[in-house]
Structure formats: structure tokens, C-alpha cells
Homo-oligomer: A and B are copies of this chain.
């Protein structure tokens, strides 16, 4: 059994609170255990230069942590004057993952800006961010749709993300918290759709390697976790659920 009493294939308690920030078109506070992330989706009626005149829209994401989201205070990236490599990697991942389920042509020349700000971190911030950002984005697009319906709703499928790993005792586990993550041999993030297809698969041995067999075990747990997360997203988006066929 895991140090917090969970089964190997068990998620932490997950909550999704919608309409969390009054100014944003879509916003949620999502928690995976003690990991808490504010995700907002802002709709802008223009696109980056490389898409102007293409009729296509764009989805882009930014990610940050409050300085004291972690056990030790981190220096702000604004004070350092540059964005860390880890941050860039995560925000590129969030944007790419969301775009995989958006019909950018149907969206039209609009940009959806996703902001994921971790207010408390306990492992799995990037997967919580993707899972929450999907809800905020869908809510924002549903808001636009209500005012002026799209001919075809631009979101093609549900999308969630979860982490899996191999512990130092060589056990596969689902949804690692910080203590587990720090000690794991292998860390993998999986992003999947409601239809059960992969969007992203990022697995890394941490000064370690993994076998084909361990890979299959992780994929199996990941799929289970994703299905449960999508159920929770569908509850949180009950009012918009019918828009996604």
C-alpha cells in the first residue's frame, strides 16, 4: 500500500470548481489532492501572425507557480528575468495537448489563452493543469457559442492527463504525489482523449531505465485514471456536455 493509503491504481481526490475568476471567459480551480491550480481561458479575437488570414484559430498556454506553492520558496521568474526551461516545457505541452482536440478551423480566427497558475504544489501539477485547462477552455468556448453559435462546435473530444510511474520498489503507480515523484525511478505523463487515443506520452527514466513490460503496466493504469478524470470533467461541464458529441 502507498504511504497515503491509496491503491497503486487509485487517483487522489479530485475537485473541479468552475467560474472561479469572475473576469475570465472560462476558469476553474482544480485540485488533485494537495495540488491546486487556477486555470483560466481567455478568448481574444485575433491570432498570431503566422495564422493571420488563414481562417484558423489558435490555443496557447502559460504556466507558473506562486513562489510559495512549494515546500521551499522559489524565486519568481519575473525577478529572474527569464522563464525556466521546465516552465517552457510544461506550457508547450499544455498548448499542444489542448490543440489536439480543437478543430482550429471551426474555431475561426480567435486565440484561446490558457493560464495555469499553481497555487499549491504536491506533484502532478502539469497533469492537473491540462485536466483543468480543458474544462476552462471548453467553458470559454461554450460561452462564445451561446452568444453566437459556431456552425460546428470546435471541441472534438474530451481530454485529460495523468501521471504514472515506477517506484524505487519497481511498482507501477498512478497519480504520484510529491513524495512518490521525488523517489520514483520512472515518471510518465499521459494525455488521452475520451475516445481512448493518445495525445502525448512522455516517459523518462530518472538516472534509470524501464522495460517494455513496465511501460505496458504504466499505460494500463494511465488509461484507468484518464477515464475517471473525464467522468469528473463531464460532471463539472454538465451544462456544456451536449455540445461535445
- Asked if residues A115 and B85 are in contact (CB atoms below 8 Å), the reply is no
Copies of the polypeptide in the assembly:
6
Partner of A204, one of B86, B88, B200: B200
Size range of the interface on A? 35 or more
- Asked if residues A119 and B21 are in contact (CB atoms below 8 Å), the reply is yes
Interface residues of A in 168-221 (CB under 8 A from B): 188, 193, 195, 197-212, 215, 219
In the assembled complex, which residues on chain B have CB atoms less than 8 Å from the CB atom of A198? Answer: 203, 205, 209-212, 215
Known A73-B44, A78-B83, A89-B92: A209·B199 in contact at CB below 8 Å: yes
Q: List the interface of chain A (C-beta within 8 A of B).
A: 21-24, 27, 34, 38, 40, 42, 44, 62, 64, 66-71, 73, 76-89, 91-92, 96, 99-100, 104, 113, 115, 117, 119-120, 188, 193, 195, 197-212, 215, 219
